[in-house]
Amino acid sequence: MLLLIPVFPIAWAGKEEESVRIRVFYHDKCFDGACSAALFSRFYRERIHNDVEFVYTGLVHRAGALFDEEKFDGEENAIVDFKYSSSPKITWWFDHHESAFLTPADAAHFEQQQSNRKFYDPDFKSCTSFIAFIAEQRFGFDASKVAELVYWTDIVDGALYDDAKSAVEMKAPAMKLTMAIEANQDPNFVKTLIPLLAYRPLGEILKQPLVAQVLPPLLERHQHSIDILRQRTEEKDGTIYFDITDHELEGYNKFIPYYLHPDSVYSVGLSKSSFRVKVSVGSNPWSRREPRVNLARVCERYGGGGHARVGAISFDVTRADDARRAAGEIVEELRASVRNQA
């Protein structure tokens, strides 16, 4: 894969006197998104400017416009672990998703831009590890300070667990934090968590009141979601299908379907929140049969995207029938691909 990074030298801006206000946009409801924002903030403070106020804004994939340009109101504006914006107000961008560009025009804009502060490489398992690499190689940042964060974001975002049981039982601190980030409904939770992720060990963060008080109900919810998915999931021709739009479970652990159906290759699930109906499309990281369908490309046909092995599509909350139709078409396509493999 071609590494689309400008190759001219990077100049360190130095530590100036004036305070700077930076708005950091990150992939919300996502462990890698939160960790990317945390690592970027630490890198920026240590290598670009030490007197800085960070303002965090979560972004989610939804039907329609993904960005509100009125919110690009920082003296600098950064987007991490989310799609590209060609707005001149965006001064930093890091992403690793295969579907990083909304349009061919955005991709062309990135390739032609002269900034040395916008970077893309879909070969990285996590955006956090990508930022750490660039910050170290281009700006002299000491990435050893964030080694634990990089290690776990690669595992979580790259689905590098030993088995589905490890992913679902969530014994490691990173897994519990992932659950809290994905399932918590407080809009300020992740924004408050990000500064902790930048400087504190994950095990220590679990003990903070912010996290400790929300874990027991979320763990109970997790067990409830396993029971629901046990009832709703159906596997046929190596592909799992389920519809839980009648439950408030959008932040369910995405590995539960493979935990329940270990011989599966793919999964397609429908879930619902207040603003969207989501079609989640994934592949079993522990399957004995190699997934051969690029799921990012499948999702792009319906306006979504993601990675080769996992993707999603967001429909407006009023378009549940369209979401269900798309999910059905994808299920049939994936089941046919598995049958053809046999």
Kind and range of the H or E run holding 183:
helix 173-183
Kind and range of the H or E run holding 181:
helix 173-183
Q: What is the tens place of the pLDDT at every residue in 77-94?
A: 999 999 999 999 999 999
* pLDDT reported for residue 111: 93
Q: Summarize the confidence of residues 7-36 as an average pLDDT.
A: 76
Is residue 233 within 8 A of residue 257, CB to CB? The reply is: yes
Long-range contacts of 323-332 (CB under 8 A, 24+ apart): 323/270, 323/277, 323/278, 323/279, 324/243, 324/270, 326/279, 326/302, 327/241, 327/243, 327/268, 327/269, 327/270, 327/279, 330/268, 330/279, 330/281, 330/298, 330/302, 331/239, 331/241, 331/268
Position 112 pLDDT exceeds 80: yes
* pLDDT reported for residue 5: 42
* pLDDT reported for residue 15: 43
* pLDDT reported for residue 251: 79
CA distance 94 to 109: 15
Q: How confident is the model at residue 16 (pLDDT cuts 50, 70, 90)?
A: very low
Position 160 pLDDT exceeds 50: yes
Higher pLDDT, 115 or 13: 115
* pLDDT reported for residue 1: 38
Fold of the domain spanning 234-341: Diaminopimelate Epimerase; Chain A, domain 1 (3.10.310)
Is residue 136 within 8 A of residue 142, CB to CB? The reply is: yes
Query: What is the DSSP code string of 98-135?
Result: TT--SSHHHHHHHHH---SSEEE-TTSS-HHHHHHHHH
Q: How high is the mean pLDDT of the chain?
A: 92
What is the longest distance spanned by two Cα atoms in the chain? 65
% of the chain exceeding 90 in pLDDT: 84
Any idea which of 62-71, 208-217, 268-277, 288-297 has the lowest mean pLDDT? 62-71
Higher pLDDT, 16 or 99: 99
Q: How confident is the model at residue 64 (pLDDT cuts 50, 70, 90)?
A: low
* pLDDT reported for residue 18: 83
* pLDDT reported for residue 14: 46
* pLDDT reported for residue 65: 66
- Does the domain spanning 20-206 belong to CATH 1.10.3470? no
Is residue 282 within 8 A of residue 309, CB to CB? The reply is: yes
CA distance 221 to 255: 15
Q: How confident is the model at residue 67 (pLDDT cuts 50, 70, 90)?
A: confident
Q: How confident is the model at residue 33 (pLDDT cuts 50, 70, 90)?
A: very high
Q: Summarize the confidence of residues 220-235 as an average pLDDT.
A: 96
CA distance 115 to 8: 10
* pLDDT reported for residue 7: 34
pTM: 0.84
- Give the domain ranges of the chain: 20-206, 234-341
